[in-house]
Amino acid sequence: MQEMFFFVLEQIRIRTGLTLQILSNSERRFIGYQSVAAREEFDAMTKEGAAVVDVGGESIQITLFSEGGVVTTQHLVLGTMRLAGTACRDRKYGCPF
One DSSP character per residue, 71-85 reads: EEEEEES--HHHHHH
- Give tens-digit pLDDT for 83-94: 777 667 666 556
Residue 97, pLDDT score:
54
DSSP-based helix, strand, coil % in the chain, nearest 5 = 45, 20, 30
Mean pLDDT, residues 56-85 taken together: 85
Residues 23 and 35: their CA atoms lie apart, in Å, by 16
- Give tens-digit pLDDT for 2-49: 788 889 999 999 999 999 988 888 888 889 889 999 999 999 999 989
Residue 18, pLDDT score:
96
Residues 66 and 48: their CA atoms lie apart, in Å, by 6
On the question of pLDDT at 95 being above 70, the answer is no
